[in-house]
Amino acid sequence: MATAHNQAEKGQIAKVVLMPGDPLRAKFIAENYLENAEQFNDVRNMFGYTGTYQGKRISVMGSGMGMPSIGIYSHELFNKYDVDVILRIGSCGAYSERLKLYDVMVVKDCWSESTYAHTYSGYESDIVKPNAELVELIKQTAKEINQDLVEGRVHCTDCFYRMDKQACYRIQKEHDCDAVEMESLALFHNANVANKKAATILTVSDHILSNEKTTALERQTSFTKMIELALQCALKC
């Protein structure tokens, strides 16, 4: 059952997958939160692990950066490995004063200039939504564990670097985006086409208004509030 991107055999991956962008964050979660974790993938160093959390079998796997990368991995997880739920746990850059560094955000929808969804299946809209039931589960779980949570729209972009330095300000104003990241649209669209469930929880890693930034190591190891929220949600999926 192995693919060109994933050496796992069918049955090695759980029905619920937590998906950070950074494969080293996947490794961190497996080593610090999962019991009896076994690695199922290291192709291209895109690490994937399956273990148990409070008795429930859960997998965690990196997605890489950008929509093409998460598009490949989520398509295969949904369609070749029978995964039912993917929870993206990533980082974002804040556009809005509603957010501050290290805030945790649940994505209500994403706006994008990307052609990913159109290329994948002919989808025409520039807005893609996550699974509504999963978003509500995240919000309810955050309340239960007293976790502060901001709900908002993200700008899902194909370009980390952009020559037009004012574009983010226009996008924030014209499309009411609270933050920017690079993966959610492809994940949500793949899930919607496959009739599966996906949602995104993000931690603010930098802020365009304040110019605050986290380090690469902090992004890898310190986003524990987001990770723990996602794990509690996974228990209920």
Q: Which residues are designated catalytic? A: 206
Using a CB cutoff of 8 Å and minimum separation of 24, what contacts does 158-163 make? Answer: 158/66, 158/67, 158/112, 158/113, 158/114, 158/116, 158/182, 160/65
With both helix axes pointing from N to C terminus, report the angle between 224-236 and 132-144 in degrees, rounded to the nearest 10. Answer: 120
Ramachandran bin of 66, using left for φ above 0, alpha for ψ from -120 to 50, beta for the remaining angles: left
| Cβ neighbourhood burial of 227 (10 Å; 0-12, 13-18, 19+) | buried
d(CA 89, CA 28): 13
Which residues lie below 8 Å from residue 5, measured CB to CB, with a gap of 6+? 43, 44, 46, 72, 73, 76
Which tokens go with 221? 């190891």
Ramachandran bin of 149, using left for φ above 0, alpha for ψ from -120 to 50, beta for the remaining angles: beta
Which tokens go with 149? 């949570």
